[in-house]
Amino acid sequence: MTAHRQPALFATDPELAALVSAEETLQAETLRLIPSENYVSAAVLEASGTVLQNKYSEGYPGRRYYEGQQNIDRVEALAIERAKGLFGVDHANVQPYSGSPANLAVYLAFAKPGDTVMGMALPMGGHLTHGWGVSATGSWFRGVQYGVSADTGLVDYDAVRALALAERPKIIFCGGTALPRTIDFEAFASIAEEAGSVLVADVAHIAGLIAGGAHPSPAGHVDVISTTTHKTLRGPRGAMLMCREEHAKAIDKAVFPGLQGGPHNQTTAGIAVALHEAAQPSFVSYAHAVVANAKALAAALLERGFDLVSGGTDNHLILIDLTGKDVPGKVAAKALDRAGIVVNYNTVPFDPRKPFDPSGIRIGTPSLTSRGLTVAHMPVVADWISRAVDAAAKADEAALAAIRSEVADLMAAFPAPGLPL
């Protein structure tokens, strides 16, 4: 690891270059289990750092407010065509800056302030922008929220239907940030149709699994698909909105000029590359390996006495309820971090604790799968998590340091995409 990987940066601003190098080392040496993170390829990284960022391009390909778009138009058109092909949709907008602005654009397209909107409650696994109170979407709109059943940890579709029919929301969001189970897009579509609502699938977490055929696709069932591009899809930090042709104008108008100014062209280029990579047969294998690893890790954690929300996983994500281990989520997450295992603390459904000090941790397998770890490694990973949580309970720093060194040894044998060897 040397700062000379970015020689111009190193020469101009060694202080900043040193921080970038330190981050490269951290990402290389640790076991990154945050389910919304990944490693982009060197090609995505290069595309995202190009001179494309020198251009202003307000508007859309062929309809810009600035000249000199000969190349930019083609970059954006390429990203759009690749998104449409990969996800089987009529229309794609690749300009949203990230997931929250993408979802805000959906509100702008289909609702007026004060309208009722419906989504999964944040502490149940939803997202802030699905109408949760502390978000603008929950204060400018009237958010009504569904959750999971206390017995099973699964979405109760009868309860969702009853709420939708009682409230008749303008928009229904399905999807979220801590959902370990398959989303039944057909069930949501029939509910939205009965309630007369626009149905939005926020597939930010599972977009890569959908692209690789490891999770059913919402295409054809929902009005709009919202996704970030940097999670399982392994692109740069950005987002896309995809929809049926009938909604194309409303979505485009909401993104620009409704919400945003010039698109981040360098990000659009990175998205185009990531979509190209996701269309390769190797990405199908990757998506299925992510799920196989998550299932194997869940099984290994259950064997070690962990309590998993919904009893396991169907996708890339595992939500661990640590109540029975007598270690709060935040204490466990910070101890795991000291052990070289990076997770985030997270509420669990019906959590009696506060979001900033909740009962659970959230983990996932997109990053470790990108490094080539397989189901054979998952018992080792589960062991490390188990030992680190026990060490957290006893404040045993020596045990955490020992795990950190074992983690670094294994990670050294599995170089991360996009990082120096």
Site string for ligand DSN, 79-108 (x = CB under 6 A): --------------------x---------
SS3 292: helix
130, 137 contact by CB (below 8 A): yes
> Residue 91's closest CA among 253, 204, 280?
253
**Pick 189 or 317: Cβ nearer ligand DSN:** 317
Q: Let me know: does 292 contact 375? Beta carbons within 8 Å.
A: yes
**Apex 272 CA angle, 266 and 278, nearest 5:** 140
Q: Which is nearer to ligand DSN, 38 or 41 (CB)?
A: 38
Nearer to ligand DSN, 36 or 227 (CB): 36
Q: Which of 129, 227, 228, 347 is catalytic?
A: 228
Report which DSSP code applies to 258: I
Q: How far is the CB of 37 from ligand DSN (least distance, A)?
A: 8
Three-class DSSP category at 31 = strand
Q: Counting contacts by CB under 6 A, is residue 143 touching ligand DSN?
A: no
Q: How far apart are CA 407 and CA 421, in angstroms?
A: 16
Nearer to ligand DSN, 99 or 418 (CB): 99
Residue 96 neighbours by CB distance under 10 Å: 30
Q: Does 36 contact ligand DSN by CB under 6 A?
A: yes
Q: Are 187 and 195 in contact (CB under 8 A)?
A: no
When the beta carbons of 36 and 197 are compared against ligand DSN, the nearer one is 36
Distance (Å, whole) CA 180 – CA 402: 30
Residue 334 among the catalytic residues: no
Active site residue 202: yes
Query: Which residue in 177, 217, 232, 359 binds ligand DSN (CB under 6 A)?
Result: 177
Cα–Cα distance for residue pair 72/80, rounded to 1 Å: 12
Whether 193 is catalytic: no
Answer yes or no: 65 catalytic: no
Q: Cβ of residue 128: shortest distance to ligand DSN, in angstroms?
A: 7
CB of 294 to ligand DSN, least distance (A): 15
Cite the active site residues. 56, 58, 202, 228, 231, 237
Task: State the residues that interact with ligand DSN by CB under 6 A.
Answer: 36, 99, 127, 177
